[in-house]
Amino acid sequence: MRLPVQEMMKVLSKAAQEEQGKAADCLVVVLMSHGGEGTICGSDDEEIRLESIYEQFNNKNCPCLQGKPRLFFVQACRGARPQGTPQAPPSVLVKEASRAAPAPLDANARPPAGTAVPVPAERQATATSQPSPAVEASQEAMDTTPSSPLRGTREGAAPSLDRSKQKPPRVTAPGKVS
């Protein structure tokens, strides 16, 4: 939220006085604005010293946070010198774009709902109702029924339980199952 300096100090002072700090493990304050060396600006373009903000949460002004970490993240300019914009070396600069735009980088990108998507010819030829040999082989492996309740296990594959071959547990006494 954008606040003038006086309002910003009221909010911070109120937060420092709240009793909720007793139950907190730490304090985190994030300030994002323009600023100067050791200052930050409010929405009214007035500056306030960062030190006066930190003082709101010291052990004297905020005893409920005593012995607890206080983290202040300040994203603001710190001076009057212009930073400039870094320029890429000439060897990196693109001189001319001669090709069409590449496909989207997001491999999971999907066309909007209702958009017809053409199917490549090589996929159309294989889109039949006949299963592939690999699918048939895996179905055959799962259809084998050994005498144990474990069905069609392949080396390295997790067994699947065939519950139709298992007997229900027998209760011999209250709370005891065999």
- By the 8 A CB rule, do 4 and 44 touch? yes
Amino acid at 161: L
Known catalytic residues are: 34, 77
Q: How far apart are the first and last CA of the chain?
A: 65
